[in-house]
C-alpha cells in the first residue's frame, strides 16, 4: 500500500527513470555523451514553455498564447538585428538591446492577458486562444514572408553555445553542456525556490486552491494573477531567444502547435489544470521525460510521427493513472470517515460502492 | 461583562417578505450567545447584516460603543468578526499549516519562508489551542470537527473578537459534537464571544450562556439559558408564520405501499423500520444530523442503500438510480431546490416534462402540442402563476418554482412521493397552496412521505408522524395524539 | 436593452456585413456571398459538434486531429499505390470506392469521439486533457500513415461534396445548411437534444430527474467525432489532396466561433444558430480581408483581434446584466 502510494506520488520520476533505463537497454547507441547532450539541448525551450504553463496552472489559469509570444518576440528581434539582405530591416540594433526588447514585449503581452482576465473578467482559455491567433498573425504580418536568418554570435549564445565540452573515456563524441540546458535547469531551480519559499509563490497556490479564501486572507488576487501571466510571457520570450539562436533564424511558423506538447509535458509532470496542485520539479520531470522519449525514439529510428502518437498515448496514460489515484484516495477517505462510526456497523461493505 | 456588539432595532425587508422587524440583540464579551429560530425566522438575514454582506433598512450596529456606518464585509472582518459557515471552505489542496498562515507565512529576515519554522509555529499554535493536529498533513485528511476547530483556531489566532458559528454540528455525531463544545468552551475563557446558531435545542442548553429567539423576523427576547428549560424554549419558538391549512379527511386504508425493514447504512442510519399505506401522508421529523436526508436519498436510489429490505407494493424495490425508481412509481422532491431541483435557464414546460419525455414524444421526436397540454394541465391544477409555460423557470417566485416541481412529480403518476422540506423558501400563501396540493395527491391514492423540520405544518397535514433522532426512528405519533411539544422534545432530546 | 444583448451577435454580424459592403465593391454580390458561405462551411459543420459538447459543459479539443486522420485514411484507401517521393506519397493500393470509404471515414470519426466520451464519462478522466491527448494521438497517426506527405488526386465522385455544385449552388453550402437544419431540429425537438442542454444547465438536477448524464456525454463526443469526420470529407473534397496537417487551428477557431456566438463555456446556454452566426462572422472577416487584398498573413491577426473584442464585450455584458 505504501509502496503504491510512493509510486503514485512520484509517478513522473519513475517514468523518467524507466524510460531512461529502457532506452539504455534497448539501444546501444543511447547511453553515450552525444545523446545526453541532445537531451540537454531539447529540454531548453520546451522547459521554459512548460515553466510558463506551470505558473499559470498553479493559479488555476491557462495561457495558450505562449507559443505565439515566442514566435512574435523572436521575429521582432530578428527584424531589428539582421541586415536587409538576410531578411531583416537593416536597423542593426545591438543584440543585447534586442533581447531586452524581446523580454519586455513578452512581459507586456502577459500583462495584457492578465489584465483582460482579472480586471475585465474574460474567460482565460478563450482570451489566450484569441491572443494565440492575434500574435501569430502579427508575426506573419511583420515578417518579410521569408525566413530571417543569421544572428550575431552574441544573440546565439543562449540557444546554441555550450558551457563546456569534454570527452569521456571509452565513448566517442564529446559531452556538451549547452548553455540553454544549464539555464533552463537553473530557471527551474529558481522557480522551485520561488513557488515554495516565497510568499508570492504560496499566494499562487492559495489562489489556485480557492480564489475567494485567498482574497479573504488579504491576498491581492488580481495583482498576483497578472504577475503570473507576465512571468509566463517572459518565459515564452526566453524560449524564443533559445529557439531562434539554435536555428539561427526566425520564421513565422516557429513553435507552431507546440502548446499541446507543452500542456502534455506539464500535466504528465503532475501539474493540474484545476490549480493549487503539483510543483515545478514534477513539471521539470515532465520536460525530461519528453526529451528522453524524443531522443530515444529518434535513436531507435522510430518515425517522428510515431513519436507524436506515443506522446499522446503517454498523456492519456497519465490522466488514466490520475483518475485511478483519485478513486483510490476517495475510497481511503470513505473508509476513514466511516470506519469509526458506531452507526450501522452491520453494514460492512460500505466502502465498496460510493 | 462588557458589551461588545449591539444590534439596535434592525429591520430588513425583501420583496414580498419582511425578513426582520426591529430586532435588538446585545452580545457580550466572554459569552456564548445562541440564536434559535426555525427556517425563515431571519437568522441568516441577521447574520448577513452583522457581516456586512447585506445592509439593514433601519437600525444601527454598535461595536464597542462606536456606531458602524455603512458596514462592508471587509470592515467587519477587520473589526474581528469571523463567520464560520456550515459548509466549510478551505484551501483543500494545501497543508494545515498553510491554511493557518495563508497570506502571511512565517519568514526569516530575508523574507524567505522557513518551512521548519512554519510547521513548528503551526504545531505550537495548534497545541496552544488545545488541538492535536500535525500541521504537515493536508486539510483533506482532517475530519469535519477538526476542520471546524481549525477554522476557529485561525480566527482566534488572528485576534477575532466575535466568532459566528452557523450550525457547526449539523453533520456531526455526539462524540464529535462534544469535542467541539469542549473546544469552544476553552476559547471562551480567552475572552472571545461566540454567536451560536443551531436547530438543535439541546445544544443550546449544553453550551450557551444566553439565547435569543427569533420568530418570523421578530425577536422574542434574550434569555439566560439557566432560567429556561427546553419545554419553555419550544413554547417561545412557536410562531404564526406557518401554513394554516388543516387536513380535511384522514385516510384509513391499510394497504401497504412501502415497507422498509431493517434498513441500515454505515454512518447514516440503522435499523429503520416503517410502512406507508395507500394514500397516507406520513411525516418524518428529524434534525439535519439525524440521518434523515440520507435516508430519503437512499430510498429514492440516488445514494447507496446499505443493507436491509425495501418492498414496494409487496415486491422487492431494488432501484439503484433515479430513472429506475421513477419507472417503478417513486417520485422525489429535493430539499435544495436551487442546487438540484431546477433546470436553470429552461422553460416551465420543459421543467415539468423532463421526467416524462417518452410521453411527449414519438420515437424521441418531441411533440410541442403534447408538451403544452401537459404543462397547461399542471398550470391549471396547481394554480401556477403567471400561467406562461414558455417562461424561464428562474423568473418564477419560490412558491411557483416549487409548484412547478410538484407538477414534474405528479406527471409521472407515482405511487409514492418522497418530499423533503416541501415548503422551504416559500411564502405563507404558497405554503397553504402546497399543502392543498399534497392533500389532493393523497386523495388520488398516492402515498406521501414528507421529511421536514416544520413540525407545526406536519401536524396539520400528516396522518402519522415518526421521529428520527440520532440515526434511528425513535417514536411514532398518530394524528389523534399529535403534540408539537412532544414531537419537538422527541426530536431534540437524547434517547438512550 | 436585454433584447439588444440577446441578439448581440446578429447586430454585430449585420453591422460588419453592411460596413464591408460599403467599403468594398462587389462584397455583397451573390458570387461573393457564395464565397463567404463556402469559406464558412467546414467550420459551420464542426461548430455544431463543438456546441453540443459545450452545451453539455464539455469541450472537444480533438476535433482537428479527427479531421486530419480521417482525411488521411480516406485518401490512403482510395488512391493507387505510388512511389513515395519526398513530398508526395501514394495510397495503400487497394483503391476502394468512395461508397465504401465514406462510411469508413464517418465510422472512424464517430469511434474516436466515442472513445473520448467513454474515457471522460465512464472512466472519469478530465475532458480537457483527454481530448488534448486524443488530438496528439490522432494527428500523430495521420502523420504515421501519410508519412508526412501529401496524397493528391482523390476521385471525382468523392470530391463532389466538397467541390461540386447542385443547381448552381456549391455543395458545401447545401450540406452545411442541411446539417445545420437537422441538428437545429435535433436540439430543439428531440428528447436527447434537450437532455444535452439539461445536463449542461444543472447536472445535479439532471441526475435527480433520472437523466443518464454519462450516456449524454458519450453521445455528444460521438456526434462531435462524426461531424468532424464529415467536415473532413468536405475539406478533402475541396482540396482533392490529403494533407496531414489539414485542419490545423480548426479547433481553436471553432471554439472561438461558438463562444462569440453566445454558447457559454459554463454549459446549458446558447443556441446552434448563435454558433453559426459566430462562424459566419469569422467567414465574413476572412473574406473581406481577402478582397481588400490584405496580406493573408495579417488575416490571422485581425481575426484574433476581433475575437478578443467580442470576448471583452461579452464579458462586460455579463457584468452589466448582473448589475441590473
ipTM of the complex: 0.82
Chain B residues close to A198, C-beta within 8 Å: 111-113
B460 in Cβ contact with B271 (< 8 Å)? no
What are the boundaries of each domain within chain C? 35-247
With a cut of 70, list the residues of chain B below it in pLDDT: 16, 239-244, 495-496
Highest mean predicted confidence (pLDDT) among A225-234, B221-230, C290-299: A225-234
Q: Please give the span between the terminal C-alpha atoms of chain B, in angstroms, as a whole number.
A: 38
The pLDDT score that the predictor gives to residue C111 is: 96
Characterise B239 by phi-psi region: left (phi > 0), alpha (psi -120 to 50), beta (else): beta
Distance from CA of C158 to the nearest CA of A (A): 27
Which of B323, B332, B342 minimises the CB distance to C202? B342
Q: Which of residues 261-300 of A touch C (CB under 8 A)?
A: 261, 263-264, 267, 273
B224 in Cβ contact with B208 (< 8 Å)? no
Mean pLDDT value across residues A12-20 = 91
Cβ of A92: how many Cβ atoms within 10 Å?
Answer: 12
Helix A66-81, helix A44-58: angle, nearest 10: 130
Interface check A342 vs B, CB under 8 A: yes
Q: For chain C, what percent of residues have pLDDT higher than 90?
A: 32
* Contact between chains at B267 and A218 (C-beta distance less than 8 A): no
Q: Which of residues 185-244 of A touch C (CB under 8 A)?
A: none
pLDDT category at A241 given cuts 50, 70, 90 is very high
* Position A179 pLDDT exceeds 60: yes
Distance CA A57, CA A228 (A): 10
Closest residue of chain C to B342, computed from CA coordinates? C205
Please return the burial class of B201, using the count of CB atoms within 10 Å of its CB with bins 0-12, 13-18 and 19+. Answer: buried
Residue of B336, B339, B340, B390 best to disrupt the C interface, most CBs of C under 10 A: B340
The per-residue DSSP string of B464-482 comes to: EEEEEETTEEEEEEEGGG-
The pLDDT score that the predictor gives to residue B243 is: 60
Nearest to A139 by CA among A236, A17, A55: A236
A166 in Cβ contact with A104 (< 8 Å)? no
Distance from CA of B197 to the nearest CA of C (A): 28
Which of A196, A198, A206 minimises the CB distance to B103? A206
DSSP 3-state helix, strand, coil percentages of chain A (rounded to 5)?
70, 5, 25
Mean pLDDT value across residues A238-246 = 93
3-class DSSP state of A206? helix
Distance CA A290, CA A283 (A): 11
Q: What is the dihedral of CA A50, A55, A60, A63, to 10 degrees?
A: -60
Which of C190, C209, C268 minimises the CB distance to B344? C268
Cβ of C100: how many Cβ atoms within 10 Å?
Answer: 12
Catalogue the E-assigned strands of chain C: 151-152, 165-166, 169-170, 241-242
Residue of B110, B138, B150, B266 best to disrupt the A interface, most CBs of A under 10 A: B266
- In Å, how far are A40, B144, B167, B363, B405 from A155, measured between CA atoms? 19, 58, 65, 69, 69
* Contact between chains at B268 and A197 (C-beta distance less than 8 A): no
pLDDT category at C2 given cuts 50, 70, 90 is low
Closest residue of chain B to C203, computed from CA coordinates? B340
Q: Which of residues 225-254 of A touch B (CB under 8 A)?
A: none
* Contact between chains at C144 and A140 (C-beta distance less than 8 A): no
Interface check C204 vs B, CB under 8 A: yes
Distance from CA of B491 to the nearest CA of C (A): 28
* Position C324 pLDDT exceeds 60: no
User: What single-letter DSSP state applies at residue C80?
Assistant: P
Chain A residues close to C265, C-beta within 8 Å: 123, 125-126
Residue of A262, A305, A317 best to disrupt the C interface, most CBs of C under 10 A: A305
* Contact between chains at A209 and B112 (C-beta distance less than 8 A): no
The pLDDT score that the predictor gives to residue A354 is: 47
What are the boundaries of each domain within chain B? 3-237, 256-492
What's the CATH fold of domain B3-237? Rossmann fold (3.40.50)
What rounded mean pLDDT belongs to chain C? 86
All chains having 3 or more CB pairs closer than 8 angstroms to chain A: B, C
Which of B102, B113, B173 minimises the CB distance to A206? B102
Chain B residues close to C190, C-beta within 8 Å: 361, 364-366
Residue A148 exposure: Cα atoms within 13 Å on the Cβ side? 32
The pLDDT score that the predictor gives to residue C228 is: 94
Domain B256-492, architecture per CATH: 3-Layer(aba) Sandwich (3.40)
Give the lowest-confidence range in B187-191, B402-406, C28-32, C244-248.
Answer: C244-248
CB contacts < 8 Å between A and C, how many?
159
The pLDDT score that the predictor gives to residue A335 is: 82
pLDDT tens digit sequence for C40-49: 999 999 999 9
* Contact between chains at C311 and A319 (C-beta distance less than 8 A): no
Residue A36 exposure: Cα atoms within 13 Å on the Cβ side? 16
B469 in Cβ contact with B286 (< 8 Å)? yes
All chains having 3 or more CB pairs closer than 8 angstroms to chain B: A, C
Chain B residues close to A209, C-beta within 8 Å: 91-94
C294 in Cβ contact with C303 (< 8 Å)? no
Nearest to A318 by CA among A279, A271, A262: A271
Nearest to A191 by CA among A250, A231, A220: A231
pLDDT tens digit sequence for C164-212: 888 888 999 999 999 999 999 999 889 999 999 999 988 889 988 889 8
* Degrees to nearest 5, angle at CA B72 with B71 and B74: 130
pLDDT tens digit sequence for A283-310: 999 999 989 988 888 888 888 788 778 8
C178 in Cβ contact with C227 (< 8 Å)? no
* Contact between chains at B102 and A208 (C-beta distance less than 8 A): no
**Which of B38 and C52 is assigned the larger pLDDT?**
C52
Distance from CA of A121 to the nearest CA of B (A): 22
- Here the cell at position A122 is 474574460
- Here the cell at position A191 is 522557480
* Degrees to nearest 5, angle at CA B257 with B252 and B258: 120
Interface check A277 vs B, CB under 8 A: yes
Cβ of A187: how many Cβ atoms within 10 Å?
Answer: 19
* Contact between chains at B325 and C210 (C-beta distance less than 8 A): yes
Which helix or strand (DSSP H or E) is residue B419 part of? strand B416-420
Amino acid at each position: 500500500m505504501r509502496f503504491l502510494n510512493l509510486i503514485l506520488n512520484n509517478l513522473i520520476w519513475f517514468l523518467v527513470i524507466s524510460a531512461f533505463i529502457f532506452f539504455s537497454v534497448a539501444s546501444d547507441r543511447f547511453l553515450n555523451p552525444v545523446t545526453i547532450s541532445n537531451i540537454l539541448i531539447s529540454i531548453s525551450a520546451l522547459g521554459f514553455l512548460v515553466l510558463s504553463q506551470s505558473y499559470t496552472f498553479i493559479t488555476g489559469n491557462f495561457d495558450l498564447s505562449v507559443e505565439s509570444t515566442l514566435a512574435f518576440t523572436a521575429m521582432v528581434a530578428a527584424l531589428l538585428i539582421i541586415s536587409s539582405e538576410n531578411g531583416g530591416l537593416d536597423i542593426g540594433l545591438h543584440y543585447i538591446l534586442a533581447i531586452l526588447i524581446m523580454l519586455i514585449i513578452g512581459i507586456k503581452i502577459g500583462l495584457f492577458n492578465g489584465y483582460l482576465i482579472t480586471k475585465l473578467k474574460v474567460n482565460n482559455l478563450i482570451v489566450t486562444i484569441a491572443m494565440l491567433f492575434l500574435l501569430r498573425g502579427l508575426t506573419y504580418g511583420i515578417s518579410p514572408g521569408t525566413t530571417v536568418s543569421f544572428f550575431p554570435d552574441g544573440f546565439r549564445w543562449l540557444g546554441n553555445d555550450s558551457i563546456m565540452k569534454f570527452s569521456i573515456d571509452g565513448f566517442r563524441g564529446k559531452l556538451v553542456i549547452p548553455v540553454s540546458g544549464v539555464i533552463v535547469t537553473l530557471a527551474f531551480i529558481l522557480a522551485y525556490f520561488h513557488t515554495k519559499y516565497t510568499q508570492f509563490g504560496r499566494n499562487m497556490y492559495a489562489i489556485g486552491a480557492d480564489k475567494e479564501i485567498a482574497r479573504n486572507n488579504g491576498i491581492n488576487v488580481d495583482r498576483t494573477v497578472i504577475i503570473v501571466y507576465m512571468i509566463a510571457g517572459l518565459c515564452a520570450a526566453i524560449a524564443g531567444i533559445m529557439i531562434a539562436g539554435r536555428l539561427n533564424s526566425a520564421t513565422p511558423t516557429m513553435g507552431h502547435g507546440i502548446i499541446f506538447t507543452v500542456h502534455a509535458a506539464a500535466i504528465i509532470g503532475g501539474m493540474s489544470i484545476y490549480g493549487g496542485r503539483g510543483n515545478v520539479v514534477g513539471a521539470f520531470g515532465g520536460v525530461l521525460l519528453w526529451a528522453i522519449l524524443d531522443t530515444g525514439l529518434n535513436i531507435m529510428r522510430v518515425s517522428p510521427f510515431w513519436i507524436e502518437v506515443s506522446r499522446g498515448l503517454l498523456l492519456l496514460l497519465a490522466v488514466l493513472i490520475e483518475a485511478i489515484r483519485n478513486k483510490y484516495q476517495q475510497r481511503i477517505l470513505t473508509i476513514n470517515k466511516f470506519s469509526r462510526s458506531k452507526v450501522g456497523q452491520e453494514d460492512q461493505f460500505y466502502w465498496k460502492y460510493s | 461583562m462588557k458589551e461588545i456588539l449591539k444590534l439596535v432595532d434592525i429591520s430588513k425587508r425583501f420583496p414580498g417578505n419582511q425578513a426582520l422587524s426591529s430586532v435588538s440583540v446585545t452580545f457580550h464579551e466572554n459569552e456564548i450567545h445562541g440564536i434559535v429560530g426555525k427556517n425563515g425566522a431571519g437568522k441568516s438575514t441577521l447574520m448577513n447584516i452583522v457581516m456586512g454582506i447585506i445592509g439593514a433598512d433601519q437600525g444601527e450596529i454598535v461595536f464597542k460603543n462606536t456606531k458602524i456606518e455603512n458596514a462592508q464585509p471587509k470592515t467587519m472582518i477587520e473589526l474581528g468578526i469571523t463567520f464560520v459557515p456550515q459548509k466549510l471552505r478551505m484551501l483543500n489542496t494545501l497543508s494545515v499549516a498553510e491554511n493557518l498562515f495563508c497570506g502571511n507565512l512565517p519568514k526569516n529576515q530575508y523574507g524567505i519562508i522557513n518551512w521548519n519554522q512554519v510547521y513548528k509555529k503551526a504545531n505550537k499554535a495548534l497545541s496552544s489551542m488545545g488541538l492535536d493536529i500535525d500541521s504537515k498533513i493536508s486539510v483533506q485528511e482532517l475530519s469535519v470537527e477538526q476542520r471546524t476547530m481549525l477554522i476557529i483556531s485561525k480566527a482566534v489566532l488572528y485576534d477575532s473578537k466575535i466568532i459566528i458559528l452557523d450550525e457547526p454540528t449539523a453533520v456531526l455525531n455526539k462524540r464529535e459534537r462534544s469535542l467541539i463544545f469542549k473546544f469552544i468552551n476553552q476559547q471562551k475563557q480567552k475572552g472571545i464571544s461566540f454567536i451560536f446558531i443551531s436547530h438543535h435545542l439541546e445544544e443550546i442548553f449544553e453550551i450557551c450562556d444566553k439565547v435569543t429567539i427569533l420568530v418570523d423576523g421578530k425577536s422574542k427576547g434574550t434569555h439566560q439559558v439557566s432560567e429556561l428549560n427546553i419545554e419553555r424554549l419550544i413554547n417561545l419558538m412557536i410562531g404564526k408564520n406557518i401554513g394554516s391549512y388543516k387536513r380535511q379527511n384522514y385516510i384509513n386504508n391499510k394497504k401497504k405501499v412501502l415497507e422498509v425493514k431493517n434498513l441500515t447504512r454505515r454512518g447514516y442510519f440503522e435499523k429503520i423500520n416503517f410502512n406507508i399505506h395507500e394514500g397516507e401522508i406520513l411525516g418524518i421529523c428529524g434534525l439535519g444530523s439525524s440521518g434523515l436526508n440520507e435516508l430519503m436519498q437512499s430510498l429514492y436510489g440516488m445514494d447507496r442503500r446499505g443493507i436491509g429490505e425495501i418492498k414496494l407494493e409487496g415486491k422487492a424495490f431494488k432501484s439503484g438510480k433515479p430513472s429506475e425508481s421513477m419507472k417503478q412509481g417513486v417520485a422525489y422532491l429535493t430539499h435544495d431546490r436551487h442546487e438540484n431541483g431546477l433546470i436553470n435557464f429552461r422553460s416551465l414546460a420543459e421543467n415539468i416534462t423532463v421526467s416524462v419525455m417518452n410521453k411527449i414524444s414519438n420515437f424521441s421526436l418531441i411533440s410541442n402540442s403534447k408538451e403544452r397540454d401537459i404543462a397547461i394541465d399542471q398550470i391549471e391544477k396547481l394554480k401556477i402563476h403567471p400561467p406562461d409555460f414558455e417562461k424561464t423557470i428562474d423568473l418564477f417566485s419560490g412558491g411557483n418554482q416549487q409548484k412547478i416541481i410538484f407538477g414534474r412529480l405528479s406527471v409521472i403518476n407515482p405511487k409514492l412521493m418522497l418530499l423533503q422540506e416541501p415548503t422551504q423558501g416559500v411564502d405563507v400563501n404558497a405554503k397553504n397552496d402546497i399543502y392543498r396540493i399534497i392533500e389532493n395527491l393523497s386523495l388520488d391514492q398516492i402515498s406521501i412521505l414528507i421529511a421536514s423540520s416544520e413540525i407545526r405544518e406536519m401536524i396539520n397535514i400528516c396522518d402519522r408522524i415518526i421521529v428520527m433522532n440520532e440515526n434511528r426512528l425513535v417514536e411514532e405519533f398518530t394524528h389523534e395524539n399529535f403534540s408539537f411539544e412532544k414531537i419537538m422534545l422527541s426530536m431534540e432530546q437524547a434517547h438512550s | 436593452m436585454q433584447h439588444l444583448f440577446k441578439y448581440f451577435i446578429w447586430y454585430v454580424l449585420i453591422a460588419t456585413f453592411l460596413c464591408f459592403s460599403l467599403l468594398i465593391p462587389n462584397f455583397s454580390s451573390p458570387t461573393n456571398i457564395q464565397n463567404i458561405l463556402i469559406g464558412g462551411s467546414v467550420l459551420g459543420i464542426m461548430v455544431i459538434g463543438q456546441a453540443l459538447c459545450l452545451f453539455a459543459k464539455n469541450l472537444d479539443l480533438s476535433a482537428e486531429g479527427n479531421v486530419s486522420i480521417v482525411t488521411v485514411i480516406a485518401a490512403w484507401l482510395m488512391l493507387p499505390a505510388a512511389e513515395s517521393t519526398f513530398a508526395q506519397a501514394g495510397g495503400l493500393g487497394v483503391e476502394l470506392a468512395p461508397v465504401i470509404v465514406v462510411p469508413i471515414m464517418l465510422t472512424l470519426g464517430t469511434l474516436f469521439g466515442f472513445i473520448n466520451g467513454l474515457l471522460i464519462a465512464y472512466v472519469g478522466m478530465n475532458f480537457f486533457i483527454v481530448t488534448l491527448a486524443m488530438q496528439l494521438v490522432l494527428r500523430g497517426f495521420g502523420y504515421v500513415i501519410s508519412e508526412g506527405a501529401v496524397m493528391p488526386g482523390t476521385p471525382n465522385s468523392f470530391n463532389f461534396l466538397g467541390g461540386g455544385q447542385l443547381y448552381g449552388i456549391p455543395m458545401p453550402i447545401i450540406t452545411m445548411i442541411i446539417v445545420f437544419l437537422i441538428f437545429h431540429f435535433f436540439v430543439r425537438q428531440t428528447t436527447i437534444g434537450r437532455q444535452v442542454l439539461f445536463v449542461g444547465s444543472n447536472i445535479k438536477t439532471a441526475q435527480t430527474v433520472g437523466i443518464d448524464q454519462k450516456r449524454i456525454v458519450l453521445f455528444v463526443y460521438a456526434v462531435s467525432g462524426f461531424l468532424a469526420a464529415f467536415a473532413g470529407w468536405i475539406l478533402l473534397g475541396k482540396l482533392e489532396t490529403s494533407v496531414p496537417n489539414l485542419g490545423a487551428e480548426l479547433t481553436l477557431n471553432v471554439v472561438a466561433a461558438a463562444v462569440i456566438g453566445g454558447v457559454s463555456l459554463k454549459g446549458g446556454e446558447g443556441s446552434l444558430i448563435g454558433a453559426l452566426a459566430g462562424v459566419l462572422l469569422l467567414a465574413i472577416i476572412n473574406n473581406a480581408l481577402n478582397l481588400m487584398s490584405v496580406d493573408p498573413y495579417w488575416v490571422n491577426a485581425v481575426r484574433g483581434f476581433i475575437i478578443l473584442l467580442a470576448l471583452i464585450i461579452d464579458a462586460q455584458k455579463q457584468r452589466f446584466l448582473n448589475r441590473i
